[in-house]
Amino acid sequence: MRRGVARSPLPWLAGLIVLFLSVPIIAFVIRFASAQNRGFGNPGLFPALFVSIESATISLALITVFGVPLAYLLARSSSRIAGIVGVIVQLPLALPPLMCGILLVYLVGPYTFLGQLFNEHLTMSLTGVVLAQTFVSAPFLIVAARASFFTVDRELMDVAATLGHSEFSRFRRVALPVAAPGIRAGMLLAWLRAFGEYGAVVVLAYHPFSLPIYTYNQFSGVGLPTTLAPTALALAVAIVVILLSRLGLGGRNTRPVLLPEPGQPVATNPTPISFDIDYRVGSFHLAVSHQPRGNHLAVLGPSGSGKSTLLRCLAGLYGSKPGSVRFGDRSVDEVRVEGRRVGYVAQRFSLYPHMTVWQHLLFARGATPSIAAHWLAHLRLEGLQDRYPSQLSGGQQQRVGLAQALCRSPELLLLDEPFSALDTPVRHELRRELRRLQRTTGITTVLVTHDPEEAALLADEVIVLSDGSFLQSGPTRQVFSRPSSPDVARLLGIPNLRRAVITSDGTMNAGGAILEVDTAGLAPNTAVLWSIRPEHIRLQPAEGLAGTLTDIADIGTATELTIAVTDDLELELRTLDHVDLEIGRGCHVELPRDAISIWPATDLAIVG
């Protein structure tokens, strides 16, 4: 294939629009360079330039002060009122500037209430120029800022709330810095639009002359040659402003942090958490309650089961609507999220891109440098205090999120699938790190996870959720050893979930194999589902159920075997012992009676 045919058309399309935009400017520069009288000496030129610069700057200040908060509120609201306001904000973009000026006459014209109140000084004055420029320029900043605020991750704001920051503090310290590039672009567009505005200004405030009005008067009165100077000045000012906008607002912190002596965190007594949640989010209904028996709770379930919603309810991010939440003997139903003193570690790390590690640790209300230094060392983050999130690995980012939450000395630590995005070695290491923290600090933890192994390792109690309601809850050992239903068994990752029929009191027919079980009073010929954990099946040398080895896998920590007992019954077995068998060889297995869980089969289709 020829190279020319394979090339993308994108550069050609982009080149055409660049050519269209640049040719008029190039033609002007050539004309300007060859002209004898460019018009710089004409009276009124520089006063008009200063009027345009001054009025555009005042206009931008007004738009920024009032428009940025409006953009923030519009980005965070999906109400009908917000939709109507959004349309109103964009209307000046759709109207010809001349008509925008006419609309303003109805508001601040000489014979309106406001016009009379200010003695007709709102028109034919610098104030009138500013009002006209603000009306046509405001949408550029508001629309750009709204789009930028909309991209701010909600979890960044939620984490800031759990760290004790009010709504205004979250706006100022999180939303503004994260959305700054989009806001800065909107400010540039708004200033340039105001600087070049003609139509609305000429209707509302013909005097004092702005640079566009001065230029048009020169063009209509004398001709094209006298417009060289004002056009050149406008181009020069626009280029300078665009270049200044690209300099940014300060650079990253480059001064190294001098770490203080580590302090000792305030001792934390376990704070058992109880709750009775009944909450609707759209069509989803979460209904779950819990009375504590321990200090470390895991909420286990598939995606969409309501785990994260439950955690947000406990943190107070939905206010008091979800229901009753108690920390120990204290109700926190009416306590705002900022005052609940919980540490919240979000699923996607949720670190602030504009903050260093050290700034993260000091971001929580009440955090002190000595306590921050303690957790920096305790979580093995020393040497990383001057780095930004983009300079950290996934495991380091998760440690920073955990340290940030602990720097507030919370009563309760809420963890939303904190290790799901990490690779296996890092995930294993951080699980052990968290287990050590649970043991050394005594802090109560609530862990949301879809990983049964993680729940078993980090919790002494488990709630199994599905579709917003709990299927089973209780001590971890009890839930894992005796699932209350086939659905719970599947969510716990028990692979041996099979079907059978009760044959008599104490036995069942499982795919042609007769197994001894506790039938719990079920009548003969009752269809059932049953399961057994792979590690509970024992490989026997010459007795028990006969079968054939169909697969064997050494996974490092154990050996997993698949054994076909009959054509309709295949079992998975896990053992720590060395297995000297080849695929296709016969073997024997034992299924302890007390290790088999059994349930009436209400839906046989769920078992493959």
Q: Lowest mean pLDDT of 363-367, 474-478, 492-496, name the range.
A: 492-496
| Mean pLDDT, the chain, whole residue set | 90
> Would 257 be classed as within a structural domain?
no
Report residue 195 as tokens: 């600087």
* pLDDT for the residue 348: 77
> Would 259 be classed as within a structural domain?
no
Burial of 235 (0-12, 13-18, 19+ CB in 10 A): middle
Instruction: For residues 605 and 91, give the distance between their C-alpha atoms in angstroms, rounded to a whole number.
Output: 57
Are the CB atoms for 561 and 535 separated by under 8 Å?
A: no
Burial of 21 (0-12, 13-18, 19+ CB in 10 A): exposed
Report residue 75 as tokens: 């980005």
Residues 287 and 197 in one domain: no
Q: Is the dihedral of CA 431, 435, 440, 443 positive or negative?
A: positive
> Would 572 be classed as within a structural domain?
yes
Q: Note the pLDDT tens digit of each residue in 342-356.
A: 999 988 778 999 999
Dihedral angle of Cα 340, 342, 347, 353, to the nearest 10 degrees = 90
Are the CB atoms for 370 and 262 separated by under 8 Å?
A: yes
* 480, 509, 544 - which closes a domain: 480
Residues 474 and 510 in one domain: no
Q: Lowest mean pLDDT of 64-78, 135-149, 570-584, name the range.
A: 570-584
Residues 506 and 452 in one domain: no
Query: What burial letters (b/e) apply to 484-523, b meaning 16+ CB within 10 Å?
Result: bbbbbbbbbbbbbbbbbebbeeebbebbebebebebeebe
Phi, psi of 553 (to 5 degrees): -140, 125
Please report, for residues 68, 95, 104, the alpha-carbon distance to residue 84 in angstroms, rounded to integers and kept in the order given.
17, 17, 20
> Would 1 be classed as within a structural domain?
no
Query: Minimal CA–CA distance to 131: which of 171, 85, 100, 175?
Result: 100
Q: Return the number of other C-beta atoms located less than 10 Å from residue 567's C-beta.
A: 8
Q: Between 288 and 6, where is the model more confident? A: 288
Query: Minimal CA–CA distance to 451: which of 427, 432, 468?
Result: 427
* pLDDT for the residue 364: 93
190-353-389 Cα angle (round to 5):
160
* pLDDT for the residue 606: 43
3-state SS record for 273-337: EEEEEEEEECCEEEEEEECCCCCEEEEECCCCCCHHHHHHHHHCCCCCCCEEEEECCEECCCCCH
Residues 318 and 241 in one domain: no
* pLDDT for the residue 5: 47
Residues 178 and 289 in one domain: no
Report residue 298 as tokens: 């895991």
Give me the domain span that covers residue 240.
Answer: 29-245
Query: Minimal CA–CA distance to 385: which of 375, 397, 376, 374?
Result: 376
Q: How far apart are the first and last CA of the chain?
A: 50
Query: Minimal CA–CA distance to 443: which of 487, 398, 402?
Result: 402
> Would 358 be classed as within a structural domain?
yes
CA 470 to chain centre: 26
Residue 488 scores a pLDDT above 60: yes
Please report, for residues 158, 301, 313, 444, 459, the alpha-carbon distance to residue 323 in angstroms, rounded to integers and kept in the order given.
19, 21, 8, 20, 24
Query: Minimal CA–CA distance to 430: which of 379, 377, 475?
Result: 379
Residues 592 and 465 in one domain: no
Q: Note the pLDDT tens digit of each residue in 220-276.
A: 988 888 899 999 999 999 999 999 988 765 566 667 888 888 888 876 778 899 999
> Would 5 be classed as within a structural domain?
no
Residues 69 and 135 in one domain: yes
Pinpoint the alpha helices (H) of 366-484: 369-378, 394-406, 424-441, 452-458, 476-481
- Classified as helix, coil or strand, 2 is coil
> Would 369 be classed as within a structural domain?
yes
Query: Minimal CA–CA distance to 398: which of 374, 379, 378, 370?
Result: 379
* Beta carbons within 8 Å of 470's beta carbon, 6+ residues apart: 288, 463, 464
* 480, 502, 533 - which closes a domain: 480
CATH of the domain at 53: 1.10.3720.10
Instruction: For residues 161 and 170, give the distance between their C-alpha atoms in angstroms, rounded to a whole number.
Output: 7
Instruction: For residues 164 and 391, give the distance between their C-alpha atoms in angstroms, rounded to a whole number.
Output: 26
Instruction: For residues 525 and 390, give the distance between their C-alpha atoms in angstroms, rounded to a whole number.
Output: 62
Residues 502 and 601 in one domain: yes
* 456, 480, 504 - which closes a domain: 480
Residues 189 and 56 in one domain: yes
Phi, psi of 531 (to 5 degrees): -150, 160
Instruction: For residues 174 and 179, give the distance between their C-alpha atoms in angstroms, rounded to a whole number.
Output: 8
Residues 506 and 578 in one domain: yes
* pLDDT for the residue 251: 61
CATH of the domain at 511: 2.40.50.140
| pLDDT tier, 607 (very low <50, low <70, confident <90, very high otherwise) | very low
3-state class percentages of the chain: helix first, strand second, coil last, to nearest 5:
45, 20, 35
CATH of the domain at 365: 3.40.50.300
Q: Note the pLDDT tens digit of each residue in 387-443.
A: 999 999 988 998 899 999 999 889 899 999 888 777 778 888 888 888 888 888 889
3-state SS record for 323-379: EEEEECCEECCCCCHHHCCEEEECCCCCCCCCCCHHHHHCCCCCCCHHHHHHHHHHC
Residue 608 scores a pLDDT above 50: no
Residue 605 scores a pLDDT above 80: no
Are the CB atoms for 148 and 181 separated by under 8 Å?
A: yes
Burial of 244 (0-12, 13-18, 19+ CB in 10 A): exposed
Instruction: For residues 352 and 177, give the distance between their C-alpha atoms in angstroms, rounded to a whole number.
Output: 9
Residue 120 scores a pLDDT above 60: yes
> Would 15 be classed as within a structural domain?
no
* pLDDT for the residue 144: 96
* DSSP-assigned beta bridge partners for residue 273: 327
Residues 475 and 498 in one domain: no
* pLDDT for the residue 7: 74
> How many domains does the chain contain in total?
3
Residues 537 and 465 in one domain: no
| Mean pLDDT calculated for residue range 346-369 | 90
Dihedral angle of Cα 591, 592, 597, 601, to the nearest 10 degrees = 40
Residue 566 scores a pLDDT above 80: yes
| pLDDT tier, 278 (very low <50, low <70, confident <90, very high otherwise) | very high
Percent residues over pLDDT 90 in the chain: 64
* pLDDT for the residue 447: 94
